[in-house]
Homo-oligomer: A and B are copies of this chain.
Amino acid sequence: MGQTPREVVFQLPLQRGTTPLAQQLAAHIRNLVSDGKLQRGDRLPASRLIAKELGVARGTVSDAVETLIAEGVLEGKQGAGTFVVIEPRVLSPARLHLAAHREVPLNPAPEPDIDAQTEVLIDLRPCRPSVAEFPVQAWRRCMSLAASAPLSSDYGDSQGSYRLRTAICDYLRRARGLRSEPEDLIITNGSVHAMHLLTLAFLNTRSTVYFEDPGYPLARQTFASSGATIAPCSVDRDGLLLESLGSRHRGSALVYVTPSHQFPLGSRLSITRRQQLVAWSDKHNALIAEDDYDGEYRYDVPPLAPIYSLAPERVVYFGTFSKTLFPDLRIGFAVAPRPILDVMRRYRTIFEYNGNSQIQHALATFIENGSFERHILKMRRVYSKKRAAVQERISKEIRTAHVTGINSGLSFTLELDESVDAHQVHRQLTTRGVLLPTISRYCANQKHKVNGLVFGFAEPSIDQLDQGLDQLIAVLNP
């Protein structure tokens, strides 16, 4: 066994204030071993020498050595010192020589129907809330509190935090007239995740999903993953057209609706149609998937109770915090009849077990202490102002387009006259750095094509909205 050349160990450029010194030293010695500069059998200089030479505390050196002993890189021998006991190939083993590379067969790769992340000047896509007004300080306190709570050695509740479920139930009762118990809820990673659990519990290759067209692409893809038939249904200014439902299904049937603010057209499902839809679902033993993705924001129309309140036994109600807090919070939920919820929960247990509990506790606090509803109230004002500004300019300055579906939500529809082609407008705007998708981008059935654009007014500032409108006006009034 040889004595290590001291200079090798001592050539360490320590950087204070970043990674702990002990870890820097451990990494340095580890690299010396994997590079072969320290060899099996080499003895390390005494800790006190290393400490003195590098100008660090002796405890720092001991920590580094202990780490490397625990990793099996070094070994301490009583009275004799500390030795390298590992070959370089253990730290960075050579790959085995394999036969000519053959790729394993993969299942067909789905093409998620989402917009690419593009660098644009003005982003007017729907579903993007404004996060500039988010009460970061209040949220930070909730997160800090959640992170200080006692930890568990267990894996949590697959249905989600009972406390958060209670807070959401209370909120839904207060704000939406939706009566439920925490036992009726499951907390998920966003609402599409809840739809996936419903897909697992309820849909199969014999099922039919009646789906609004245009409609929300990820929900459609998630339901379709079961092999169910997707039956696109038309939508008008009062929401889903009941006539387009038919009774084509043989197996289980699901109707997907966005009654508060049809995505992407923005219409509200009328009371009459809600009642008819429930009656239809009862007659055909179908289930209704009610996606209430941005119903918190309603401007100058009276509230309408969720369909769930009319027939809790026929409806799975989906909610999300992506639009009210921020999208990559990734918390949504479903309220469902208990037999369905139970199957959803079981699938969740097998595939993922649970979501993060601390985020759920932080959100529960945020709702309980009133921050959530205060924020919604504030954002209603912010969005109202943006909405009014945009609506006014469009009605004053553009003749070939008019606004619909603006009574609620974070986006509206800009219907275009026949003289103008939505695709052409979209393309021209894109080259000008403005992202404003066409309605037909959300259509599964090209027959349902509508000549118009979907305008997300929530995220951009008033200035940015004005710049976007300048470009839109330049394109439409050449």
Contact = CB atoms under 8 A, between A and B. Distances in A.
Interface of A: 19-20, 22-23, 27, 30, 34, 63, 66-67, 70-73, 85-86, 90-93, 95-96, 98-99, 101-107, 109-112, 114, 117, 128-131, 134, 136, 139-140, 142-144, 146-148, 151-156, 158, 174-175, 177, 179, 189-190, 192-193, 196, 200-204, 218, 221-222, 225, 251-252, 275, 278-279, 282-283, 285-287, 298, 301-305, 309-314, 322, 326-331, 339-340, 342-343, 346-347, 349-359, 362, 368-370, 373-374, 377, 380, 459
Contact of A147 (B136, B193, B368): B136
A109 B322 CA distance: 29
Given A202-B107, A328-B155, A148 B136 contact: yes
A66 B380 CA distance: 10
B104 A285 contact: yes
Given A92-B179, A106-B201, A204-B107, A30 B174 contact: yes
A353 B313 contact: no
A312 B117 CA distance: 30
A347 B104 contact: no
Nearest to A98: B282
Nearest to A149: B136
Please give the count of copies of this chain that the complex contains. Answer: 2
A201 B311 CA distance: 38
B139 A98 contact: no
B311 A112 contact: no
Contacts of A70: 298, 377, 380
Contacts of A98: 278, 282, 311, 313-314
Contact of A370 (B23, B73, B146, B192): B23
A222 B200 CA distance: 13
Contacts of A201: 106-107, 109
B222 A351 contact: yes
A48 to B, nearest CB: 21
Contacts of A359: 356, 358-359
A367 to B, nearest CB: 10
Contacts of A22: 370, 374
A330 B202 CA distance: 26
Contact of A326 (B128, B153, B278): B153
Nearest to A101: B313
Contacts of A109: 201, 342-343, 346
Nearest to A70: B380
Contacts of A110: 343, 346-347, 350
A205 to B, nearest CB: 11
Interface centre among A72, A106, A252 (most CB of B within 10 A): A106
